[in-house]
Homo-oligomer: A and B are copies of this chain.
Amino acid sequence: MPTARAQLVAAAFELFETEGYDATTVDSIAARAGVGRTTFFRAFKSKDEVVFPDHTRLLAGMQERLESGVGDPQARALDAALFVIRQFLAEGDLAVHRYRLTSTVPALRDRELAMMSRYQRVLGRFFLAEVTGEALAAELLASAWVTVHNHVLRDWMRGRTSTPEKDLTVGLDEALTALSRPAHEEQSIVVFRTSRPLDVVLPGLQTLLGEPVGPRKVPRRR
**Bitwise interface map of A from 184 to 202 toward B, beta carbon under 8 Å scored 1, else 0:** 1101111101000010001
A198 close to B191 (CB less than 8 A): yes
Copies in the complex: 2
Q: How many residues of A contact B (CB 8 A)?
A: 41
Asked whether, in the complex, the Cβ of B136 is within 8 Å of the Cβ of A140, the reply is: no
Contacts of A218 in B (CB 8 A): 190
Taking the complex as formed, is A205 at the interface, i.e. its CB lies under 8 A from any CB of chain B? Answer: yes
For A110, the chain B residues whose CB sits under 8 A away are 110-111, 113-114
Greatest chain B CB density within 10 A among A174, A184, A193 is at A174
Chain A 100-157 residues near chain B, CB threshold 8 A: 109-111, 113-114, 117, 135-136, 139-140, 143-144, 146-148, 150-151
The chain B residue with its CB closest to the CB of A170 is B183
Overall SS of chain A's interface? helix
Shortest Cβ distance from A211 into B: residue: B186
> What residues of chain B lie closer than 8 Å to A151, measured between beta carbons?
135-136, 139
A205 to B114, CA, bound (A): 54
Q: In the complex, what residue of chain B is closest to A120 when comparing beta carbons?
A: B147
A167-222 residues with Cβ-Cβ distance < 8 A to B are: 171, 173-175, 177-179, 181-185, 187-191, 193, 198, 202, 205, 209, 215, 218
Selected A-B contacts with CB under 8 Å, 14 pairs: A110-B111, A113-B114, A136-B151, A139-B151, A140-B147, A140-B148, A174-B182, A175-B183, A178-B178, A178-B181, A189-B209, A190-B218, A191-B202, A191-B215
